Amino acid sequence: MYCNIQFPDRATRPLFLLISFLLLQGIYADCFSQVKILFDATKAETAGSADWVIDADQHNIQWNPSAIVCSSSACHQSNAQRIPTPAQPLAGVATGETYWNGALSFWGLDCAYKGYKVETLPAISGRITYGDAANAQDLSNYKAFIVCEPNIPFTAAEKTALLDFVNNGGGLFMVSDHDVSDRNNDGWDSPHIWNDLMQVNSTQNNNPFGFIFDYANVSETSTKVAGVAATDSIIHGAWGNVTRVKWSNGTTMTIDPGVNPYVKPVIYRTSVSSASGNTGVMVLYSRYGQGKIVAIGDSSPCDDGSGDTNDALFTGYNGDVTPNHRNLLMNATIWLVSNDKKTYTFSGNGNWSNSVNWLGGKVPPLILPAGDSIIIDPVVNGTCILDVTEHIAAGATISIATGKNLLVPGTLNIQ
Ligand SMILES: [Ca+2]
Ligand SMILES: [Ca+2]
Ligand SMILES: [Ca+2]
Ligand SMILES: [Ca+2]
C-alpha cells in the first residue's frame, strides 16, 4: 500500500496548517512495509558465459557493448524482466531453484523465502536513479541494490545516484570478478568499474567506502576468517556460520581504514596468515553515511549452476564449500536490509532544515528509511516548520509529541 499526503498549494491552503498527532497515527496504521531488493541487469551482467539474473523469461539480448534486442541467433542472452515469473513464493515457502530461470535464481528465491520482495532492473528499460519520481524503479523504492559483476561503467549521474542511495540508508552489494574479465568487449571489467565508482565521482571523496578492488586473478579455498564477534552479522549471521570460501578466478581488496573506519574485512586470502591487516581481503563490509556496503571479489559464489543454457554455469552458490557461500550471501543480504534504527528528535523552534533545531544536530535525511523515526517535540510554545519536502518511507514513522505543533508549508509524503 502507498500512502501519500500532498498538502494544498499556497493559494488554497490555510496560512497555518497544523497536523494533529491523531491524524498521522491513523495514516500509518493503514500502511505496512515489505523489504524490497533490486538486482541489477543493466550492466551486461548476462554477457558472455555469465547469467547473473534471478529470472529471465526471454533470451533475446546481445551485449554489443550495450544491450540490443533482436531476433537473430546473435541475440541469445538472458533478458530478465522486472518481476520474476512464476509469482514469487510466499515467505517460508521453499521451491527448487529452477522455479526461476537465471544463475542467481537460488539467491533470489532465498530472499523470497525470507519474505523480501525481489525485482530485476531490466537491461533495456531499467534506469539507475535516486530521487527520480518518474522512475518506477528508482532506488529509493528499495532497501538493497545487488550488482553482480557489472560489465559497463556507471555514468556520472548513476554514480551520484548510487552514492546518494547508500548515504541515505540503502544497502549496496558489490560483487566483482577477476582482473581482465571484460565480457562485452567495451574495455571495462568489474574491478575497474567498481573502482571507477569509488574513485571518480561527484563527492570528490576517493574510496568513500574505505577500500578498492585489486587487479588480481585468484583461485583458492580460504579458511582465513578474521577475528570477529560471536554475533558478527556476516560470519555468524541469521542464515548460518561461514568458515570458508572458494574463489574460482576472482580478485581481492585493499582497505584504507584511515578513509573510512567502518570498513571491516571478514575473510582474507590463505596467504594472510594472521587473517588481519589491510591487504588480501576476499570479503568485507562497510558503512557510508546511513547506509551499508558488502563487497566480495568473485562472482562464482553467486552462480547456482542453472540458467541460460548457452552459458557454462557452475554450482558455486550451494555446491562449492557447501553451505558456506549460501550462508555468506544470505547473511550479507539480511544485514544489508536490516535496520539500524535511528531516531531524530526536533527539539528547537523554527525551520526543519536548521540543524540547531535537532537533537545532536542530526537532521533526518529527506527520505526517512524504514525503521527510522522522527519525533516532533519543539520547545514550549515553539513550532517545527517543515520547510523541505520530506518523504517517510514505508516502515518509517513520524510522530508529534502531545500538545506540540508541526507546521507544513512544504510537502510531507508518507509511503
Ligand atoms: Ca550469458
Ligand atoms: Ca520465469
Ligand atoms: Ca565490460
Ligand atoms: Ca538458477
Write the pLDDT tens digit of every residue in 347-376: 999 999 999 999 878 899 898 887 789 999
Residues spanned by the domain of 399: 21-32+341-414
* Stretch (H or E) spanning 160: helix 156-167
For residue 59, give the ligand nearest its CA.
1
For residue 123, give the ligand nearest its CA.
1
Task: State the Cα–Cα distance between residues 58 and 80, nearest whole angstrom.
Answer: 7
Same domain, 282 and 391: no
Asked if residue 384 has pLDDT above 80, the reply is: yes
62 CA distance to ligand 2 middle (Å): 19
- pLDDT, residue 162, reads 98
Give a yes or no: residue 296 inside a domain.
yes
Same domain, 73 and 168: yes
Same domain, 27 and 50: no
Task: State the Cα–Cα distance between residues 24 and 22, nearest whole angstrom.
Answer: 6
- pLDDT, residue 16, reads 36
For 176-187, write each residue's pLDDT tens digit: 999 999 999 999
Task: State the Cα–Cα distance between residues 216 and 181, nearest whole angstrom.
Answer: 11
Domain closes at, from 294, 312, 337: 337
For 224-273, write each residue's pLDDT tens digit: 999 999 999 999 999 999 999 999 999 999 999 999 999 999 999 999 99
Domains contained in the chain, number: 2
304 CA distance to ligand 1 middle (Å): 14
Same domain, 296 and 409: no
Q: Are strands 245-250 and 171-175 parallel, antiparallel or unpaired?
A: unpaired
Asked if residue 285 has pLDDT above 50, the reply is: yes
- pLDDT, residue 9, reads 43
Give a yes or no: residue 12 inside a domain.
no
Domain closes at, from 337, 362, 391: 337
Give a yes or no: residue 4 inside a domain.
no
Percent of the chain with pLDDT over 70: 92
Same domain, 248 and 155: yes
Give a yes or no: residue 48 inside a domain.
yes
8 CA distance to ligand 4 middle (Å): 49
168 CA distance to ligand 2 middle (Å): 32
Residues lining ion ligand 4 (Cβ < 5 A) are 97, 105, 304, 306-307
- Integer CA distances (angstroms), 399 to 20, 228, 341, 346, 376, in order: 9, 38, 15, 11, 6
330 CA distance to ligand 3 middle (Å): 27
Same domain, 145 and 43: yes
Task: State the Cα–Cα distance between residues 86 and 45, nearest whole angstrom.
Answer: 22
Domain closes at, from 337, 366, 386: 337
93 CA distance to ligand 2 middle (Å): 17
Peptide bond into 153 cis (omega under 30): no
Same domain, 393 and 253: no
Same domain, 324 and 365: no
Task: State the Cα–Cα distance between residues 279 and 213, nearest whole angstrom.
Answer: 10
176 CA distance to ligand 4 middle (Å): 19
Same domain, 257 and 324: yes
Give a yes or no: residue 1 inside a domain.
no
CATH number of the domain enclosing 108:
3.40.50.880
Give a yes or no: residue 15 inside a domain.
no
For residue 64, give the ligand nearest its CA.
3
Same domain, 345 and 327: no
182 CA distance to ligand 3 middle (Å): 4
Same domain, 94 and 243: yes
Q: How many Cα atoms occupy the beta-carbon half-sphere of 47 within 13 Å?
A: 25
